Structure 1
Amino acid sequence: MTFFADLTSRQVAELSAGTRTPVLLLPLGAIEPHGPHAPIGTDPLISHGMCARAADRLAADPDVRVLVLPALPYGVTRFAAGFAGGIHIGEETLHALLVDVGAALIGQGLPRILLVNNHFEPAHLTTLRRAAETLNTEHGGRVAHLDLVRRRNAQRLTEEFRSGECHAGRYETSLVLADRPELVDEPLMRTLPRVPVTLAAASPNAGFKELGMTDAYCGSPAEATAEEGEATFGVLTDLLVEAIHELGTR
């Protein structure tokens, strides 16, 4: 089985006694607008897609037993203020939720948890890093965060991702087309002009509207393809599998 929630209580209790080291993947993101063409659940959709692919790839691995936890789709998303569909939770709420979930698992003998996130608002990322640190220092966890914006990871992803013009642009829209194409309004998508806004350089107090993202996207969604999305999912899965193996040996 790939998904933690599909196990019985007895099967969960047996995980830590097995010959394979359990590694639990927690898909994260935010519910927020992704242009007029892509779903508000784009971020957790991508995280879940990465996790499912990695778990499938490692299904027969002799060393690790990979399971995907139910996603936590809500995050810090002040940038999306003023647009319909954004659901913001504060840093302390997110931190407390992650720590409670992680501590519950660690207390059952499942300390290896990998946070898999595709929402890159700076305050959200800072909170994920802090939650991992709290779980490790205060609860005895072996929790890691696959940080895609770190240079060593970002340099393996697409040019648009590295540029920072990647909110609901070619990068993210291609991933949704690869995984859930029915959720993209493709005729509308093909009409959207490039919006040259680099979120990587944005002020923490800025919002999409203040940055010039009047339709809640930047980059070039009209150039998105399912083929690019599948290729990018391949790279994302490579990164995740590497992180799983690293965590499994701790």
Structure 2
Amino acid sequence: MLSFAELTSPQVAGLLTATRRPVLLLPVGAIEPHGPHAPLSTDQMISIDVCERVAKRLADHPSVRALVLPPLPYGVTRYASAFPGAVHVSEETLHALVTDVCGSLTSQGFTEIVVVNNHFEPEHVTTLRRATKDAGVRYLDLVRRQNAARLTAEFQSGSCHAGQYETSLVLASRPDLVDQEQMAALDPLRVDMPSAMANGQADFVAMGMDQAYCGSPAAATAEEGERTYAVLVDMVLELIGEV
């Protein structure tokens, strides 16, 4: 069993006395538009899939047992507010959710928690960095230079919202949720999101993303998604201390 929430209370108690040390994985994402082709839940879906793949990799590990916590689906999501479907929570709300959830678990003795996030709005990332530090848990910080350098060229370019990088990951896990006809019709759109943000542009439309995407979604493939998942899983295993 890979899901923490599917255990009974006595089974959870047994985790703390078992020979295999428990590691809990908390997927975090956002509900926001990802172009006309990918689901609102793209970020959350990627985080969940990374966590589930990590738990499967460790299923037969002799000394570590990884379990996936119920995801936190909502994030700081102001940039997509011009489009239907964006669900925003404040920095204060997100910080409280992460620290309260992690604090509830650490107080029971579950001291090894890894927060896995795939929504990269700057205020969201900053809040997660602060919340995980305050909670004393680990955080997979993909926008740190040493981590970003291991991911795809599109991810490193910063022009990657609902583009080839994210769409490939969704194709690898839930191809049924990608409108592949729409995807194939989208032209590449180069938007340097980090520079735009630094210049004070705080929404997708101002950045020139009038369909809530940038990058090259038509170039996405499930094969690229699988390769990227393998790298993301390795990063989490390294945080846990098991490669």
Task: Provide the C-alpha distance between the structure 2 equivalents of 1:194 and 1:224, rounded to a whole number of angstroms.
Answer: 11
1:194 maps to 2:188: yes
Task: Determine the structure 1 residue equivalent to 2:213.
Answer: 217
What letter matches 2:193 in structure 1? L
The count of corresponding residues between Structure 1 and Structure 2 is 241
8 Å CA contact retained: 1:194, 1:220: yes
Give the CA deviation at 1:201: 2.2
Aligned 1:1-250 pairs, distance under 5 A: 1-136=1-136, 143-203=137-197, 206-245=202-241
Task: Provide the C-alpha distance between the structure 2 equivalents of 1:238 and 1:198, rounded to a whole number of angstroms.
Answer: 28
Task: Provide the C-alpha distance between the structure 2 equivalents of 1:135 and 1:56, rounded to a whole number of angstroms.
Answer: 26
8 Å CA contact retained: 1:193, 1:222: yes
8 Å CA contact retained: 2:190, 2:215: yes
Greater Cα shift, 232-241 or 167-176: 232-241
Give the gaps of 5 or more residues in structure 1. 137-142
1:167-203, CA deviations, whole angstroms, 9 ceiling, x for partnerless residues? 0000000000000000000011001011111222232
Partner SS for 1:25:
strand
1:58-85, CA deviations, whole angstroms, 9 ceiling, x for partnerless residues? 1111221100000001000111111000
RMSD: 1.3
8 Å CA contact retained: 2:114, 2:140: yes
Query: With structure 2 as the length reference, what TM-score do the two structures score?
Result: 0.96
Partner SS for 1:145:
strand
What letter matches 1:164 in structure 2? G
What letter matches 1:119 in structure 2? H
What letter matches 1:68 in structure 2? V
What letter matches 1:225 in structure 2? T
Task: Provide the C-alpha distance between the structure 1 equivalents of 2:100 and 2:123, rounded to a whole number of angstroms.
Answer: 20
What letter matches 1:217 in structure 2? Y
Query: With structure 1 as the length reference, what TM-score do the two structures score?
Result: 0.94
Give the CA deviation at 1:132: 1.1
Task: Provide the C-alpha distance between the structure 2 equivalents of 1:34 and 1:72, rounded to a whole number of angstroms.
Answer: 18
8 Å CA contact retained: 2:201, 2:207: no
Give the CA deviation at 1:133: 1.5
Task: Determine the structure 2 residue equivalent to 1:139.
Answer: none
Partner SS for 2:185:
coil
8 Å CA contact retained: 1:64, 1:245: no
Partner SS for 2:205:
helix
Partner SS for 2:84:
coil
Give the CA deviation at 1:205: 5.1
